[in-house]
Amino acid sequence: MSCCPSDAVGYLAADHADEGTVRSVDGISYYQIGSGPNGLLICPDVWGWNGGRTRAIADDFAKKGVSVWVPKLLPAFEGGTDGDGLPPSYDIKTRADLPGLFKGDWNQEKVVPKLVSVIKAMKSAGVKKIGLIGFCYGAWVGMYLAKEVDLVGCASPHPSVHLEGIFERNPADIAESSKCPWAFFPAGVAADGGDSDTYDAEGALFKALESKFSGKNVTKRYASMSHGFVSRGSIKEHAIGSGDEVKKAVQECVTDMCEFFVRCGLMRRDKAGLPPAPIKLRKPKFGKVAKVNPESRGLNLMLKVVKCVETEADKTWEAVLGDDTGIVTFSLKSKDHADLCKEGSSVRVQNARVLMIKGHIRLIIDKWAVMKAADEHVECEVKMDKDMSSVEYELA
């Protein structure tokens, strides 16, 4: 078993001008950019801390307001890439060295302590909230880290937590130990050799996370992309699609991760370049006529029309409407509203207010209010003997 399925993207040379700096802690080198109390730890794929667009993504997230840290985690195999992970010439489709590496120096038991050291360095630098992005292999070690330290959330494009299978372990079991929710962005079609369906909504791993963090996890499959597309899919012409298609998918996945981290409280929508969150409209609560008083405003009522009389030709009307608690008179200035008030019809009123006329209650529909035909017929016998508009009030 490999971390990558058969259709995975291979090595991509980095062509990005780094904007961050390389530092070290406890003998572990890391690429760092950005500042502030909210931090992002990026666990790279098997080509390491300077493969593909890993650092370009790090720089991009730093511009979105977080302190980003990319550690050098893997002892170099055959020289590695910039001293980390696999060499550029390594062909993951024809070679079979990876399982041995995962059982040896690249095992989570040896890598996670390095991540813990970098976490300590992040906290020493003033980082208080930490999220994680794990590309491919990085999701596997990230899942082990997430059961040891407090992270606000972890995201993984084309995850490889299924590496647990090499050790005859169930990936869902380690997911149950995670201390935070996850967002997965698997690639390809599972049945055609893409990323496993364990990451989908009905998959065992995703369900294990949902059992702990219900409604907080995310999964979205990029079925037209291949494993590795975010960190190393070429945005020029490539076997997995046109450059524009890959570029669009990479940008979309980065946006998806930003949305997830906003929900986790790690990022701000404006800093992340996201549009404002949609306004959630509250379902109106409807009251009763008997509760109307001279100070009433913002009235929501479901009413049956008793009568409507024109008081000034084509200008004003008085309509009596009611429910099972009483009746009240409306002063109307709209013919459209008057036309709604046919005897026996049902009307929905929202945000109406009281206007006192000669000491008597009248309801009005101003520009902030709504009067429309009710979606359903108001089934009630109108209480005619309680007329809220017949009472004369002494106004101060």
Cα separation, 231 vs 158, in Å, equals: 9
pLDDT, residue 235, reads: 78
Distances (CA, A) of 140 to 44, 174, 345, 367, 385: 11, 9, 64, 58, 73
Phi-psi region of 383 (alpha: psi -120 to 50; beta: other; left: phi over 0): beta
Amino acid at 263: R
Read off the pLDDT of residues 79-97 as tens digits, 9 standing for 90 and up.
Answer: 999 999 999 999 988 898 9
All structural domains of the chain with their residue ranges? 21-272, 289-373
CATH annotation of 21-272: 3.40.50.1820
Q: How crowded is residue 30: how many other Cβ atoms within 10 Å of its Cβ?
A: 24
Residue the block writes with tokens 């945005």: 235
Read off the pLDDT of residues 270-321 as tens digits, 9 standing for 90 and up.
Answer: 999 999 888 888 888 999 999 999 999 999 999 999 999 999 999 999 999 9
Q: Is the pTM of this model over 0.85?
A: no
Distances (CA, A) of 355 to 259, 295, 314, 328, 330: 46, 9, 21, 12, 9
Read off the pLDDT of residues 222-274 as tens digits, 9 standing for 90 and up.
Answer: 999 999 999 998 876 545 445 789 999 999 999 999 999 999 999 999 999 99
Cα separation, 236 vs 255, in Å, equals: 21
pLDDT, greater one: 157 or 13: 157
Rounded to the nearest integer, the mean pLDDT of the chain is 94
Q: How crowded is residue 293: how many other Cβ atoms within 10 Å of its Cβ?
A: 11
Which residues lie below 8 Å from residue 385, measured CB to CB, with a gap of 6+? none
Cα separation, 216 vs 143, in Å, equals: 16
**Right CATH for 289-373 from 3.40.50.2300, 3.30.70.20, 2.60.40.10, 2.40.50.140:** 2.40.50.140
- Please give the backbone phi and psi of residue 136, each rounded to the nearest 5 degrees, phi first: 55, -110
Residue the block writes with tokens 């597309």: 229
Tokens for 230, please give them. 């975010």
Tokens for 184, please give them. 């997965």
Kindly tell me the number of DSSP H helices and DSSP E strands found in the chain: 10, 14
Amino acid at 69: W
Read off the pLDDT of residues 99-141 as tens digits, 9 standing for 90 and up.
Answer: 999 999 999 999 999 999 999 999 999 999 999 999 999 999 9
Question: Would you give the DSSP letter of residue 163?
Answer: G
Beta-bridged to residue 372, according to DSSP, are 348
Q: How crowded is residue 307: how many other Cβ atoms within 10 Å of its Cβ?
A: 14
pLDDT, residue 240, reads: 47
Rounding to the nearest 10 degrees, give the CA dihedral for residues 50, 56, 61, 67: 40
Rounding to the nearest 10 degrees, give the CA dihedral for residues 98, 103, 108, 110: -110
Whether the pLDDT of residue 7 is over 80: the answer is no
Read off the pLDDT of residues 368-381 as tens digits, 9 standing for 90 and up.
Answer: 999 999 999 999 99
